[in-house]
């Protein structure tokens, strides 16, 4: 579904930060479907200039949350606030500040992209033709602006969805899995577009289950699991608190014995071809020396902070019993 109720004012280019105004916040946002708790007392804060990653596996409650934020469904309890307008109470006023799409952007297939944008944009106010040209240029569709949307590829429709989100210069752009179903080039194009929006100061709320996508384009993120935020903060800080390394050697069985003698067997485990070792920097140096002394070749030692968001994400979301308190203190703590 495409949201078309956007404001007509300009967009501030102030970057996100602790002192920036709050554009979107949720307070105890909760949704139950029968006996299923889809979203569980969700608290989020998105500030002006953020490219905010809303990250979680499929079924975590991301789209349900977005539907509540834009008033498509009513929460069981709690509420969202968009620039001082409470949703669902002030839904119409809130939507004037929002552009974006939920799940798949929808257009009239027998009309051109230009006509679609003219029609969608005029639902709120008159749209200047120069603005239509501007957003078509931003998403790279100017040369195909007069082609029927029904002839567009999936990637082109996704880009047109972003153009429609921008047509009335909203203060908040919400994108729900914008690279879903795209080929690698299409994914790259959309990511670059989102990155450029953030660089230009547009506040973006990006829902995704793709770790690499969030790491590439977002400055802040929240990880959602089973309807609950387990951690929220700067993307650069979404890593495990403990000090650990991934170790690859010429003889992993022998290496495991040697390392376990140094740090204790409980601090060494096998993850696919790597040994995961909880150890301080000083211990790592001692470990490498011990392995070399025993003629075990050390092929790779990867610090925990270089393992990326994926390991951390999988560790948080694959557990059947997420320890909410265990995430506290990491990147601002759990919510």
Q: What is the pLDDT of residues 10-47, one digit of tens each?
A: 333 345 566 788 999 999 999 999 889 999 999 999 99
Number of Cβ within 10 Å of residue 83's Cβ equals: 19
| Measured distance CA(71)–CA(233) in Å, rounded | 26
Tell whether omega for the bond before 84 is within 30 degrees of 0, i.e. cis: no
Burial bucket for residue 133 (CB in 10 Å: 0-12, 13-18, 19+): middle
Residue 295, strand partner residues: none
Q: What is the pTM of this model?
A: 0.71
Q: In this predicted structure, what is the pLDDT of residue 172?
A: 94
Q: In this predicted structure, what is the pLDDT of residue 278?
A: 81
| Measured distance CA(259)–CA(123) in Å, rounded | 66
Q: Which residues lie closer than 8 Å to 171 by C-beta, 6 or more apart?
A: 7, 9, 11, 12, 23, 48, 83, 97, 98, 203
Block mean pLDDT (10 aa), the chain, length 335: 38 55 95 93 94 90 94 96 95 92 87 92 80 90 93 90 89 90 82 86 90 87 90 78 77 90 84 79 83 91 62 62 39 36
Q: In this predicted structure, what is the pLDDT of residue 39?
A: 96
| Measured distance CA(123)–CA(110) in Å, rounded | 19
Domains of the chain with bracketed CATH: 2-237 (3.40.50.300), 244-306 (3.30.70)
| Measured distance CA(265)–CA(132) in Å, rounded | 63
| Measured distance CA(152)–CA(144) in Å, rounded | 9
Q: What is the pLDDT of residues 282-308, one digit of tens each?
A: 788 888 999 999 999 999 888 755 555
């Amino acid at each position: 579904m495409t949201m078309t109720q956007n404001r007509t004012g300009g967009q501030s280019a102030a970057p996100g930060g602790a002192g920036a105004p709050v554009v979107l916040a949720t307070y105890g946002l909760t949704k139950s479907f029968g006996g299923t708790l889809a979203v569980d007392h969700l608290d989020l804060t998105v500030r002006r200039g953020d490219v905010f990653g809303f990250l979680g596996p499929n079924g975590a409650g991301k789209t349900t949350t977005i539907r509540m934020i834009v008033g498509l469904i009513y929460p069981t309890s709690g509420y969202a606030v968009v620039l001082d307008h409470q949703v669902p109470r002030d839904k119409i006023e809130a939507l004037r500040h929002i552009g974006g799409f939920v799940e798949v952007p929808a257009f009239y297939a027998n009309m051109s992209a230009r006509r679609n944008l003219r029609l969608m944009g005029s639902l709120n106010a008159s749209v200047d033709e120069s603005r239509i040209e501007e957003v078509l240029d931003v998403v790279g569709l100017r040369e195909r602006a007069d082609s029927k949307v029904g002839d567009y590829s999936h990637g082109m429709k996704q880009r047109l969805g972003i153009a429609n989100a921008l047509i009335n210069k909203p203060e908040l752009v919400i994108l729900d899995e914008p690279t879903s179903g795209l080929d690698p080039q299409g994914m790259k194009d959309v990511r670059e577009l989102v990155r450029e929006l953030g660089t230009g100061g547009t506040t973006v709320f990006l829902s995704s289950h793709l770790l690499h996508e969030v790491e590439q384009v977002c400055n802040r993120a929240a990880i959602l699991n089973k309807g609950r935020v387990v951690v929220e903060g700067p993307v650069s800080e979404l890593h495990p608190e403990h000090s650990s390394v991934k170790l690859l050697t010429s003889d992993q069985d022998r290496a495991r014995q040697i390392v376990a003698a140094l740090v204790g067997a409980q601090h060494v485990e096998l993850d696919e071809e790597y040994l995961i070792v909880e150890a301080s920097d000083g211990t790592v140096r001692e470990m490498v020396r011990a392995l070399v002394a025993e003629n075990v070749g050390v092929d790779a030692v990867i610090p925990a902070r270089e393992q990326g968001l994926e390991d951390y994400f999988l560790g948080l979301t694959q557990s059947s019993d997420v320890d909410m308190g265990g995430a506290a203190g990491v990147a601002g703590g759990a919510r």
